[in-house]
Structure 1
Amino acid sequence: MKIYTGTGDRGKTSLFSGERVSKSSPRIEAYGDLDELNSVIGAVAASLDPGDEALTDEIRNIQTMLLAAGAWLATTPGAASTRFLKPFTMHPAESLEGAIDRMNAVLPELKHFVVPGGHLSASLAHMARTVCRRTERRVIELVDHEDGESGPSETMKHILVFLNRLSDYFFVLARFCNHSRGQADVLWKG
C-alpha cells in the first residue's frame, strides 16, 4: 500500500466525516497541533528509564486518549460518522487529576517559578506542556470559529478540560522526572 495518494497536493484534505477542507482550516490546525503534541509525548515516553514501566504505560494511555480526541476534532459536529466515535467524557481529565496528585505528593513544595530544564525527560515534559497549551488555544479557536455564541458541545468541553489538565500533568511530570532522578528543578530567582 502506498503512503502517498496525491489527493492533498492542492492544499485540501479529508476529514473523518468525509468533507474536503483546506489544510489551513481551524479544524485541521487544531488536530494538527494535537498530533504534534502526541509526537512530543512519544519523545517523553522514549526518554524514560527502562524501569519506569508504570509511568510509560500511563503516558501511552494519554496518547490513546489524544487519538480519541483527535478523532472528534477530525469530524464535523453533527456528522453521521460521530456515531462511530467513542464518547469523550470527563474520565480522561479525572484520570489525569489522580496522576497529578500521586506525583505531586512526593515533590518538594514549590516556592519559585520553574525554568524548563533538568533531566532530558523533564525537559521534554516541559516541551509537551507548552505544545499542549498551544493545542488548547487552537481547539478554543476552533470552538469559537464554529460554535460562536452557542459555546462548545459537551464533547468539546470535555476535550478542553482534558487538554487543560494535561498541561498541568506535564508540568508536574517534569518536576517528578527531575526529582526521581535526584536532580533539582531549575528555579527562577528573578
Structure 2
Amino acid sequence: MVVLNKIYTRTGDKGETALSNGERVPKHALRVEAYGTVDELNATLGLAKLHADGEIAARIALIQNDLFDLGADLSRPRMEEDADAPYPVLRIIDAQIDRLEAEIDAMNAQLTPLRSFILPGGSALSAHLHLSRTVARRAERCAVALAGAEDANQAAVKYLNRLSDWLFVAGRIANENGSQDVLWVPGANR
C-alpha cells in the first residue's frame, strides 16, 4: 500500500530521483523520461474523461489504472530480479493488451472505413483523445529507446502501441461513430 504523508522530500533537489527498487538515477534518465511521459499521458486522459460518459468513461478509467501499472513497470529495472523483490512487482501483462485489442475491434466494427486521414478535432472528447494519442506515441518512443538501452518489459512497449490505436479509434467513436470526423484535404491551402 502507498502512503504519502509528506509530499516534498528534498531528495530530488540535486537532479536525481529514486526508481521503485530504490536505485537513484538522474531525472533525465531514459527510464524516468519513459514513466514520466506515461504520467503525462494519464493526465491528458483525465482531461478527456471530463468530456466522456458511459462506456467510454469507464474504459478510460480502466486505462488510467493500467497506466499507473505501466509507470510502476517502467520504474523498476532488472526484470530478472523481480522474484527477489520484497513486494509484488507490477508488470504489464498480455491480458491487458488483449483487452485493448478486443475493445479496438468492437469499436472499429461500428465505423466505416476511412478514405482519408482525419484531423484531430470534431467533438471536445475526440480532440482530447487525439491529444492523448500523440502523447501515447511519444511514451512509446521513450519506452522503445529505454528497451534499446536497458532492460524493459516488451509488453509495456506493446501496450503503448495498442493504446495509441485504441485512442485513435475511440476518437472516431467520440465523433458520432466517425460521421463528424474532420477529413484532411491534401493541398487544400495551396
TM-score, normalised by the number of residues in structure 1: 0.88
Corresponding residue number in structure 1 for 2:185: 189
* Counterpart among 164, 170, 185 of residue 167 in structure 1: 164
Deviation of 1:65 (Å): 1.1
Asked if the contact 1:37/1:131 (under 8 Å) is kept, the reply is: yes
Tell me whether 1:33 sits opposite 2:37 in the alignment.
yes
Asked if the contact 1:126/1:174 (under 8 Å) is kept, the reply is: yes
Asked if the contact 1:16/1:81 (under 8 Å) is kept, the reply is: no
* Counterpart among 159, 175, 180 of residue 178 in structure 1: 175
Corresponding residue number in structure 2 for 1:55: 56
Corresponding residue number in structure 2 for 1:23: 27
Deviation of 1:140 (Å): 0.5
Tell me whether 1:7 sits opposite 2:11 in the alignment.
yes
Q: Percent identity?
A: 40
1:19-168 map, 5 Å: 19-48=23-52, 52-77=53-78, 78-79=80-81, 80-81=84-85, 84-147=88-151, 156-168=153-165
Asked if the contact 2:70/2:91 (under 8 Å) is kept, the reply is: no
Give the secondary-structure state (helix, strand or coil) at the position aligned to 1:106: coil
Structure 1, residues 87-117: CA drift from partner, whole Å, max 9, x if none? 4211111111111111111122210000111
Q: Which amino acid aligns with 2:121?
A: G
Structure 1, residues 131-152: CA drift from partner, whole Å, max 9, x if none? 00000000010111115xxxx5
Where do 4+ consecutive residues of structure 1 move more than 4 Å?
none
Unaligned runs of 5+ in 2: none
Distance, in Å, in 2 between the alignment partners of 1:168 and 1:187 is 18
Asked if the contact 2:32/2:75 (under 8 Å) is kept, the reply is: yes
Deviation of 1:16 (Å): 0.6
Given the superposition, is the C-alpha separation of residues 87 and 20 from structure 1 closer, same or farther in structure 2, using an over 3 Å criterion? closer
Q: Over the residues paired in the alignment, what is the CA RMSD in angstroms?
A: 1.7
Given the superposition, is the C-alpha separation of residues 183 and 110 from structure 1 closer, same or farther in structure 2, using an over 3 Å criterion? closer
Asked if the contact 2:72/2:90 (under 8 Å) is kept, the reply is: no
Give the secondary-structure state (helix, strand or coil) at the position aligned to 1:13: strand
Q: Of Structure 1 and Structure 2, which has the larger fraction of its residues in helix?
A: 1
Asked if the contact 2:118/2:183 (under 8 Å) is kept, the reply is: yes
Q: Which amino acid aligns with 1:55?
A: I
Give the secondary-structure state (helix, strand or coil) at the position aligned to 1:84: coil
Asked if the contact 1:89/1:158 (under 8 Å) is kept, the reply is: yes
Given the superposition, is the C-alpha separation of residues 35 and 121 from structure 1 closer, same or farther in structure 2, using an over 3 Å criterion? same
